[in-house]
Structures are given as C-alpha cells and as structure tokens.
Amino acid sequence: EWAERGAAKIVRQVTNPDTGKTTRQVVKKGIKDFKFGETLGDGSYSTVMLATSKESGKKYAVKVLSKEYLIRQKKVKYVNIEKNALQRLNNSRGIVKLYFTFQDESSLYFLLEYAPNGDFLSIMKKYGSLNEDCACYYSAQIIDAIDFLHSKGIVHRDIKPENILLDKDFKVKLTDFGTAKILEPKPNTTDSYDLLSRSKSFVGTAEYVSPELLNDNYVDYRCDIWAFGCILFQMIAGKPPFKATNEYLTFQKVMKVQYAFTAGFPLVVRDLVKGILIKQPAQRLTIPQIKSHHFFKDKNFKDGSIWDEPAPEIQPYKV
C-alpha cells in the first residue's frame, strides 16, 4: 500500500519496431533508474545518499530506510507521517521537495531535492557564529518556512539546525518531518486548521525543547516558535541558549528559562529573543509579531522577496 499511493511514474515515448508507431507509455520509476553516490548523512533510522538520475543526470538526495529495521523498531508510523507531511507541503519554498517514493524488498526510498550546501549545524560549526546580516537573512527564511507549514496544518516539533538544509543558492530548506504533527482540517473548511490542538510530542534534541513539553508533556504549534528563538540566539551567540553538561541539567534550564546573553549581543536581536523565549506559550510573540519586529525592518515577507535575495557572505559575529 505504501508504494502504491506514492509510486513514481514517468512517461516515455516508445516506438514499435514493427509498425513504426510511437505511443506514450507510463513506466514506474524505480531504484534502477538512479546511480547511487556518496553518503550525505546518517539519521537515526535512515541513510541519506546522493543519487543521480540515469536519464536526466539530475541529482537527488535519496533517503533509504530499511523495512526490517522500521518494523523491528516500530517506526513505520513515522515514515508515513514524513511522507504525508512532505506531500502536503510539496512545491513550497523553504521545505525540501519530495519527488518520488518507491520500495524494493528490503528498503523504502524517498527521492528528495538535493541540498548541496549541507545543514545549518555544519555552517554554525564552521563559522562559530553569524553576523547580524547573515542571522537576519537565515532567520527570516526559517520563520517564513515555519509560518508556511503551520498554515498547512503541520507542526514540525523538531526544528533544530541539523534539520535546516541549504540549497545551491544557500536558501533554507526544512527537512525531517518524521516527528511532525499533521492536523486535520476544521470541519466544513478546506484549508483551515486548529493550530491550538495540543499533542504529546517527542523529545527531539534537549536544547530546542520547549518548557511546556517538559512541564505538561503537551505542545502545540508554538513549540516551533520556541525552537526558532533558540536558533536565532545560537546564530549570534555561537551556542544554544540552554545548554548544560547533560540532558537533565539542560531540561532544568529550559523549564526555568534560564539563559544569559553573551557579551555584546546586539540589542535588537536581544529584544526579539526575549519576546520568544517566554515560558507561557500564550505570552510568546506570534509569527506575525516576529515578522514585524524591528530586526526584520528591511525584510518584506509579503511579496516573498526574502527568498530572492542573494545570500550574504557568511561571516561570524564580532562584538
């Protein structure tokens, strides 16, 4: 069933050698149509590899998931969530595109848009921190992508630097929707979701987990906004706001919202981060408020121009 719904089809012109007649034939795309290359990354239950289409030469990232492992670890549900979320979000800026899915006896395959500039964690590791210009460029795209997925009734629940990929033009592409929450449309509407519906979540990475998850074991869409605040802080400070020697101590800090700005942390970003890292979700800045914050005064979110700007040269933040 998994393959049938998402089976990739391509149309080929086929000429019959006897009659000379050309007809269009639908051919199922399969793993044999791709040449596999280097490993791009390892997830907790998948391996992501570079794949090149034999027909077009186009490069993809293929996420390979072992069926046996998925069944043994009871992860089948998450694979379906990832696929359904990506299909609902397809063709949108800021979200990695899912082209095809297929399977063979041993594995499931997700043919994804290839993001050749890797993930945001590697960028942060390489440069240590980002100057205000870079932080503004990347955070504007991240918050706009989060806004978009919320508008489609999807809460990501594991926004963190590893899950933010960069395409060939250094444009943001969110990925890893395995732990997403997919909301049902409100009755009698086609495109309106109850974003306040609360769900039990997973603890992704301790540093980006919101206090409501730790206190009440429930989150709603505002956990993605919290994670965004943590990442924005990290861009300037070079480290996440809540970080300790172990998970338990990190959780303690998150629950108390105990963090400190680094010396010389720019006031405008400080103000924005302070408005987001608030324990009570209802008091946290909303996405429209974030977008109209002074930090984004030069960004026009409405006309989509934040996605057309050339990426600034990456430079670390200097006090």
Q: Catalytic residue among 158, 176, 220, 224, which? A: 158
Q: What is the 3-state secondary structure (H, E, C) of the chain?
A: CHHHHHECEEEEEEECCCCCCEEEEEEECCHHHEEEEEEEEECCCCEEEEEEECCCCCEEEEEEEEHHHHHHCCCHHHHHHHHHHHHHCCCCCCECCEEEEEECCCEEEEEEECCCCCEHHHHHHHHCCCCHHHHHHHHHHHHHHHHHHHHCCEECCCCCHHHEEECCCCCEEECCCCCCEECCECCCCCCCECCCCCECCCCCCHHHCCHHHHHHCCECCHHHHHHHHHHHHHHHHCCCCCCCCCHHHHHHHHHHCCCCCCCCCCHHHHHHHHHHCCCCHHHCCCHHHHHCCHHHCCCCCCCCHHHCCCCCCCCCCCC
Nearer to ligand ATP, 46 or 131 (CB): 46
Nearest-approach distance from CB 81 to ligand ATP, in angstroms? 11
Nearest-approach distance from CB 240 to ligand ATP, in angstroms? 16
Nearer to ligand ATP, 124 or 287 (CB): 124
Nearer to ligand ATP, 80 or 197 (CB): 80
Q: Which residue is nearest to ligand ATP (CB)?
A: 43
Nearer to ligand ATP, 45 or 265 (CB): 45
Nearest-approach distance from CB 132 to ligand ATP, in angstroms? 26
Active site (annotated) includes residue 191: no
Nearer to ligand ATP, 153 or 204 (CB): 204
| Site of interaction with ligand ATP (CB under 6 A) | 40-41, 43-46, 48, 61, 63, 96, 112-115, 118-119, 162-163, 165, 175-176, 178
Nearest-approach distance from CB 289 to ligand ATP, in angstroms? 30
Nearest-approach distance from CB 215 to ligand ATP, in angstroms? 24
Catalytic residue numbers, as ranges: 158
